[in-house]
A = this chain, B = another copy of it.
Amino acid sequence: MSQRLAEIGVDVHYRHTVGDNLGRIVPVLELALTRSDVVLMCGGLGPTQDDLTRESIATVTGRPLQSDAEAEQRLREFFARRGLTATPNNLKQATVPEGGRLLENTCGTAPGLLVEHDGKVLIAVPGPPSEMREMMRREVIPYLTERLGGRPMAVHARVLRFADIGESTLVAQIDDIIAEQTDPTVAPYAKPGEVTLRLATKAESAAEAAVRLDAMEARLRERVGGNIYGVDDETMEVAVGLALRQRGATVAVAESCTGGLIASRITDVAGSSDYFLGGVVAYANEVKQRILGVPEETLADHGAVSEPTALAMAAGVRDLYGADYALATTGIAGPGGGSEEKPVGLIYLAVADAAGTLCVRHNWPGTREQFKHRVSQYALNLLRKRVLGIEMER
């Protein structure tokens, strides 16, 4: 919601969360009305008794709830189409504070609310993210854009995504640029397995903003461009897909400790069937041997978590699928299964192509979830760099 508001030049200064309790919601709404021109609420529009958004707006504005005949009819039809009867609780969703109006919900049963009151405006949208997004797009943003009158100064942002570098190392290299922080502003964010920089500028047009954002991006690329793998919504799985498309190449994966996460991330991208042939999740040793062709001696001499096994898995899955590239992971996700020699967090990642195979060893202790995500991020970047012919630093 904040992103969409920023795009039309509405500054979001405060976000308040309160429980489903009228005695707490009402004072928070009153406070919000004293310090903001627009108060946007999310959630509490459902049919159950702890859905109190309608009642709280009615209380704060002194406008009693009234039933909207047209909305009530739509609700009754919605339930009838599904062979159900609308309950009185369901019909509560067709009520609106006096003088306000309902916002149509094209993805669910709960309409939104819009009440203009004392020169301010209260707007309520449903909590389920898909319904909220659609109502913001169809109703709230057009309304606010018109209310703001024409072409306001909007925030235009660009996100640069980094791999193989930590937040403090990155910040140390561009400390002077961040310090200037004038226009565009540059803000670092650290997420598991990834650091991003968000560049933001206020401008009347996207073209005007692009000039400033381009200039700042160029400055940052000069310093730390080698670690930038993507821009904006270009996640690592998207970047891998772009690289493979560019070369007209295909990939297959063999996963032990990541358990299917790498394949799942690759297939999160629409159209990935063009370059992703498939994968093998080889949890049991016998599977590594029989399906991927890892030699029995390799497993006996070096163990399942070893460089020779990772290399054999990558070569094996590449052969099996007839892919141009292959990725393989074998490691110890924990919390059990570790030893002094092979501790929890140990990981071997291998990549294979026509030119040969390459293996990288790391040790990343953490929770099972963190480990799997970090390994998948690193593995996808390893593949991306191999496909694009970028040298590995380590």
Contacts and interface: CB of A to CB of B under 8 A. Distances in A.
Contact of A175 (B89, B168, B263): B89
Nearest to A167: B46
Given A130-B367, A260-B264, A281-B263, A17 B15 contact: yes
B264 A259 contact: yes
A16 B19 contact: no
> Which of under 10, 10 to 19, 20 to 34, or 35 or more describes the interface residues of A?
35 or more
Given A171-B89, A282-B278, A49 B258 contact: no
A28 B14 CA distance: 9
A14 to B, nearest CB: 6
A268 B278 contact: no
A47 B283 CA distance: 41
A349 to B, nearest CB: 17
Contact of A260 (B16, B128, B261, B369): B261
Interface stretch (A209-217, A269-277, A293-301): A269-277
Interface in A178-216: 178-179, 181, 187-188, 190
Contact of A178 (B15, B48, B281): B48
Contact of A259 (B128, B181, B267): B267
A262 interface: yes
A335 interface: yes
A89 B176 CA distance: 12
A261 B267 CA distance: 9
B130 A168 contact: no
Contacts of A260: 255, 260-264, 266-267, 279, 281
Contacts of A130: 366-367, 370
A20 interface: yes
A20 B187 contact: yes
A336 interface: yes
A363 interface: no
A372 interface: yes
A230 interface: no
Given A268-B369, A284-B278, A287-B278, A16 B15 contact: yes
Nearest to A334: B270
Interface centre among A47, A50, A260, A321 (most CB of B within 10 A): A260
B281 A281 contact: yes
A24 B14 contact: yes
A172 interface: yes
A90 interface: yes
A368 interface: yes
Interface centre among A48, A171, A320 (most CB of B within 10 A): A48
20 contacts: A13-B24, A14-B24, A16-B16, A16-B17, A48-B167, A87-B168, A89-B172, A255-B260, A259-B263, A259-B272, A260-B260, A260-B264, A260-B266, A264-B264, A264-B372, A273-B337, A278-B280, A278-B284, A278-B291, A291-B291
- Going nearest first, the 7 A-B pairs with the smallest beta carbon separation are A259-B267, A260-B263, A260-B260, A260-B264, A15-B17, A279-B281, A261-B264
